[in-house]
């Protein structure tokens, strides 16, 4: 299975300070925002000019984990200052804050890469239910699943990065849906590490509640269901679980196949879809594990087909804070800037 990726020497070398694109991060003290700062500080063609957080403490804050990688300090959120000092703004904020800040930055003619759910849902009724802070979608919003929508992303005013669970589910299922191989129910059994819930502890995410345990949650009521169904164009049963890991997602996906679908049809559909995708690794019948993708921007997908019964089981894994959040956001930055998608990520 040959994966065609551009030759390593195609990647840009470090740009001079004057030629660099100015970027900023709002939400830099959060789990996803910290990863963004880490990636952007080392990106060869951008300069990180601002990092901001809620400002709840009222004073600039250092990021001790990034000392000698990024030695700036995190300032209280100031939309005007963001707009003046950067051309492309990353928002790693709770969705209500993103809805407000994203709209304000678009009005100032800035380009935005948003990690929240605020701009993901196109149907007004569904968005009203799941993300009520965004009553209307501004023009120029593109759903930012990098492997599927690169051309639209390159022209977007606001790239709405997919949720962590939908990224894994859609990368696994969309090629099969496109090829017409799915018939009947789709069940997505998903496991996530606790960082998926952000840094503020709750009864469910407190160490003593999840250490040594696994729990299903939000059955039939998780907002990522709406996002997966929107992109896939069909209904799914999606059941997330919290597992006692700090990071990583594993989804076991159960699919009924169209009558007569062979294993080679499934394999062909996936190989065709990802022949030139640097961050999707197809593992065939070797099923991937979270430890293979933790701390990286890969989504690994494996599968087994029971031809006699018309059943397919897929396993998709990714790091929720990278391919499921900050890594995919930087991949989308590279697409916006016309760079090799791997720039600053590999």
Ligand X SMILES: NC(=O)c1ccc[n+]([C@@H]2O[C@H](COP(=O)([O-])OP(=O)(O)OC[C@H]3O[C@@H](n4cnc5c(N)ncnc54)[C@H](OP(=O)(O)O)[C@@H]3O)[C@@H](O)[C@H]2O)c1
Supply the residues annotated as catalytic.
164
Q: Sign (positive/negative) of CA torsion 138, 127, 214, 249? A: negative
CB of 182 to ligand X, least distance (A): 26
CB of 18 to ligand X, least distance (A): 30
Contacts of residue 56, defined as CB under 8 A and 6 or more positions apart, other chains included, come to none
| Nearest CB to ligand X, comparing residues 144 and 288 | 144
| Nearest CB to ligand X, comparing residues 9 and 200 | 200
Buried b (16+ CB within 10 A) or exposed e, 204-241: ebeeebbeeeeeeeeeeebbbbbbbbbbbeeebebbbe
CB of 319 to ligand X, least distance (A): 9
Are the beta carbons of 320 and 329 closer than 8 angstroms? no
Which of 263, 269, 274 lies closest to 313, judged by CA?
A: 263
| Nearest CB to ligand X, comparing residues 176 and 330 | 330
CB of 90 to ligand X, least distance (A): 10
| Nearest CB to ligand X, comparing residues 32 and 46 | 32
| Nearest CB to ligand X, comparing residues 117 and 302 | 117
Residue whose token pair is 């880490």: 38
Which of 133, 125, 160, 135 lies closest to 146, judged by CA?
A: 160
Contact positions vs ligand X (CB under 6 A):
27-33, 53-54, 56, 77, 92-95, 97, 115-117, 163-164, 195-196, 198-200, 320-321, 324-325
Beta bridge partners of 24: 50, 89
Are the beta carbons of 88 and 113 closer than 8 angstroms? yes
CB of 315 to ligand X, least distance (A): 19
CB of 163 to ligand X, least distance (A): 6
Measured CA distances, 182 to 171, 177, 258 (Å): 15, 6, 5
Residue nearest to ligand X (CB): 30
| Nearest CB to ligand X, comparing residues 164 and 228 | 164
Residue whose token pair is 């990583």: 248
Q: Sign (positive/negative) of CA torsion 123, 128, 132, 135? A: positive
Backbone phi and psi for residue 338, each to the nearest 5 degrees, phi listed first: 70, 25
């Amino acid at each position: 299975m040959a994966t065609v990726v551009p030759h390593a020497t195609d990647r840009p070398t470090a740009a001079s300070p004057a030629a660099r694109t100015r970027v900023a991060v709002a939400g830099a003290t959060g789990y996803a925002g910290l990863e963004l700062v880490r990636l952007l500080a080392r990106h060869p063609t951008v300069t990180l000019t601002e990092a901001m957080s809620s400002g709840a403490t009222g004073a600039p804050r250092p990021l001790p984990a990034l000392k000698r990688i990024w030695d700036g300090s995190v300032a209280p959120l100031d939309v005007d200052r963001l707009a003046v000092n950067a051309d492309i703004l990353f928002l790693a904020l709770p969705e209500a804050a993103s809805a407000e800040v994203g709209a304000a930055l678009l009005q100032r003619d800035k380009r935005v890469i948003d990690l929240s759910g605020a701009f993901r849902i196109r149907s007004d009724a569904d968005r009203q239910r799941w993300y009520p802070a965004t009553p209307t979608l501004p023009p120029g919003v593109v759903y930012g699943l990098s492997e599927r929508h690169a051309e639209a992303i390159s022209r977007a005013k606001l790239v709405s990065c997919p949720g962590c669970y939908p990224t894994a589910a859609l990368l696994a299922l969309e090629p099969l849906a496109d090829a017409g191989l799915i018939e009947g129910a789709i069940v997505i059994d998903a496991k996530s590490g606790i960082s998926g819930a952000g840094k503020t502890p709750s009864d469910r995410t407190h160490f003593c509640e999840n250490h040594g345990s696994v729990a299903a949650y939000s059955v039939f009521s998780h907002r990522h269901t709406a996002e997966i169904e929107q992109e896939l164009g069909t209904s799914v049963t999606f059941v997330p679980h919290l597992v006692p890991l700090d990071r990583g997602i594993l989804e076991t996906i159960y699919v009924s196949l169209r009558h007569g679908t062979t294993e080679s049809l499934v394999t062909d559909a996936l190989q065709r879809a990802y022949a030139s995708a640097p961050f999707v690794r197809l593992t065939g019948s070797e099923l991937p594990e979270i430890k293979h993708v933790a701390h990286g921007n890969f989504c690994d997908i494996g599968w087994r087909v029971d031809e006699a019964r018309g059943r397919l089981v897929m396993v998709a894994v990714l790091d929720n804070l990278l391919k499921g959040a900050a890594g995919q956001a930087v991949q989308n930055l590279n697409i916006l800037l016309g760079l090799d998608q791997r720039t600053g990520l590999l």
